Amino acid sequence: MIISPRTRGFICLTSHPEGCAQNVLTQINYVKSQGLTDGPKKVLVIGASTGFGLASRITSAFGSNASTIGVYFEKPSAPGKPASPGWYNTAAFETFANEAGLYAKSINGDAFSNEIKQKTIDLIKADLGQVDLVIYSLASPRRTHPATGETFNSVLKPIEGSFSDKTVDFHTGIVSTVSIDPANEEEIANTVAVMGGEDWEMWITALKEANLLAPGATTVAYSYIGPALTEPVYRKGTIGRAKDHLEATALDITDQLKDINGKAYVSVNKALVTQASSAIPVIPLYISLLYKVMKAKGIHEGCIEQISRLFKDNLYAKNGVPVDEKGRIRIDDWEMREDVQNEVTALWAEATTETLPAIGDLEGYKTDFFNLFGFEVPKVDYNADVNEVVEVPGLQ
């Protein structure tokens, strides 16, 4: 079929298999250009199909020849119905990995469930024996708790009073004011239940009890801090509470891993266009200004550049892992540079529907958004008939 983008709000309902495959190849080539690191050998990535998790899987496999198992929740393809992009990304990744002689298998289902954890445990036991790196990169709007069956929905709201500031609809370029009422205690707790550290810890406990973590194993989850501009809706909002919990969980997990000399880290990453971040109010306007400033300074990075740097200069650095005063890895260091933030803050004050096309990188935002779904990717012929039904070679 000929597949074109069909959008509704901040989501795109279709995705293009060849565009997704091309994106994966570009990421693989980037990692290869960075040279082989003395990195992980057997890796489990939870949330492996898009964004930072996919970049982590690619960096593991093509940066240090690691065997990888990916867990994700994606819609398969069917005749006349394109898959979700993470399905096509994974199909491409596993095809390229196999061609390179690398082990790559995956499990599609709800990572919050006991069933998917057990399936993953069985697969590691059968095929890898143990893993030395576990990446936890889930971004989900809801979680059904495996013990109680209760389903929690996360919200993106401020906590300390109502919030009102600029936002942009990146499809139309219209800058408007958004006002959000503060969350109540239940909404805060629900967001922490979805995006906090409880499920990460459940994974690590289950893997450790099954003796599937190698001596010295590392686990990493991803967090975000961001500037004062976005603080009311992000770091001091409901999602920020969840990230506080995630960061505290890293310390608990490290305690739990003492006897195998293992360690849990949180890496604070840069704001980037992903399916998860495009849903957060105010963030798209911030990102479009940030991209403009960082590109002008030659320090812009995407997911693959970020994660490649995470592995090379941080996790597998020769002289140990550099961390901040709270024990976190900071690959948001370039985003948070004072010169960058001062410029973004000045542009923020000027941003209107009329000025944004010139002062912000709205085009870059849009291109990145469509790229997530395999559209607007260079070298792909979108008028060509493509087979929308694609198998994931290592799917269990």
Enter the tokens of residue 276.
């998860």
Beta carbon nearer to ligand NAI, 272 or 386: 272
How far the first Cα of the chain sits from its last, in Å, is: 27
Query: Residue with the closest Cβ to ligand NAI?
Result: 51
Site for ligand NAI in 132-171 (CB under 6 A): 137-140
State which residue has the least CB distance to Na ion: 53
User: Which stretch, 45-53, 59-67, 183-191, 229-237, contacts ligand NAI (CB under 6 A)?
Assistant: 45-53
Rounded to the nearest 10°, the torsion over CA 151, 72, 301, 168 is: -40
Is 228 within any annotated ligand binding site? no
The answer to whether the beta carbons of residues 265 and 251 sit under 8 Å apart is no
Sign of CA pseudo-dihedral 188, 194, 198, 200: negative
Spot the catalytic one: 30, 72, 234, 286.
234
Question: 348 or 373, CB closer to ligand NAI?
Answer: 373
Residue with tokens 């597998």: 316
Task: By CB under 6 A, tell whether 72 contacts ligand NAI.
Answer: yes
Contacting ligand NAI (CB under 6 A), which of 39, 53, 240, 360?
53
Residue 274 contact partner, candidates Na ion, ligand NAI, none, CB within 5 to 8 A by sort of partner: ligand NAI
The verdict on 382 binding ligand NAI (CB under 6 A) reads: no
Comparing C-alpha atoms, which of 92, 91, 88 is closest to residue 12? 88
Determine the interface stretch with ligand NAI among 70-78, 97-105, 152-160, 186-194 (rule: CB under 6 A): 70-78
Task: Closer to Na ion by CB, 53 or 360: give it.
Answer: 53
**Residue 327: which region, alpha, beta or left (left: phi > 0; alpha: psi -120 to 50)?**
left
- The closest alpha carbon to 42, from 60, 54, 27, 63, belongs to 60
Q: Is 48 a known ligand-binding residue?
A: yes
- Which of 19, 40, 53, 226 touches Na ion by CB under 5 A? 53
If one asks whether residue 51 binds Na ion (CB under 5 A), the answer comes out as yes
Smaller CB separation from Na ion, 95 or 275: 275
Q: Which residues bind ligand NAI (CB under 6 A)?
A: 47-53, 71-74, 86, 110-112, 137-140, 222-224, 269, 271-272, 274-277
Catalytic positions, written as ranges: 234
Q: Which residues bind Na ion (CB under 5 A)?
A: 47, 51-53, 137
